[in-house]
A and B are shown apart, each in its own frame.
Chain A
Amino acid sequence: MYSLSVIVRTICDVFAWFLAVFGVYVIIHGHLTPGGGFQGGAVVATLFAFLLVAYGGKKFIPFYKSSLFSWFETVGLLLFIGTGLVGLGTTFFYNFLAGQGGLFGSTVPIGPNSGVLNSSGTIALMNMAVGVEVIGGLSLILYYMFKGIRLYEESGSEETGHDR
């Protein structure tokens, strides 16, 4: 897969940052606006698909640090489970931060309001953990599937068949 023209690459350079910022916004405002960890993570993972289409695999594969993103995935899942385990004094997944003051502990007015970012307790933490996990997971799926195509292209000249 070769890189596309300079117009596409320039547009990609400009809009990739907007995609990243929008994805992070969706993740950290998950308890206020429609969206959340999964959706924001999918938006950020779209950024990597964008880079892969615009620049081609020859520049994307050295750019993409797969070990870093598998760390993202592992750390995201462990943070999610750990946040659930901290509430184990009452029950698993107990929201021990909501309404206590402090980190994510503000109370919100009942009914329609304009939103308090520092609210909702562990929900915001879990949004971030799941967002980090989904960023790692989806971009790793993309990366490995693209490397699978390259694996086919490299061995394409050989004889293929079921008896190989």
Chain B
Amino acid sequence: MKRQVLFLVALIIVVGTLWGGLSRIHQFGDPGAAPMDDYYLHNAQAERSANNIVTSIVFDYRGFDTLGEAAVLFTAVCSVLVVFRKGGHN
């Protein structure tokens, strides 16, 4: 009984914060002024000579993020190898 009341309170808090957060975002389809994105859209072709703006952001303007991402993938493969290594787990 006490657990159920506690659960209802937690549910109301979670749904309330989620609703309050999502209902305060801008209207769908109208993000307003986005100077950084407009800079990329207008200048990425001249600066980096790539047609795909997303790729030029991922691999050039924010290459450091991608370095971390590649390192995360490498670490995941290493940890899967460690989990399934020969000789078992004991």
Contacts and interface: CB of A to CB of B under 8 A. Distances in A.
A94 B81 CA distance: 34
Interface residues of A, number: 45
A123 B59 contact: yes
B70 interface: yes
A51 B45 CA distance: 40
Contact of B84 (A80, A126, A137, A151): A151
Contacts of B47: 98
Interface in B22-69: 45-52, 54-56, 58-60, 63-64, 66-67
A33 B66 CA distance: 19
18 contacts: A31-B50, A31-B55, A34-B52, A37-B59, A80-B70, A84-B63, A92-B64, A93-B60, A120-B55, A121-B48, A122-B60, A130-B70, A133-B70, A133-B74, A136-B77, A144-B84, A145-B80, A145-B84
Interface residues of B, number: 30
Interface in A106-125: 106-108, 110-111, 113, 115, 119-123
Contacts of B11: none
A20 interface: no
Contacts of B76: 137, 141
B45 A110 contact: yes
B8 interface: no
Contacts of B46: 110
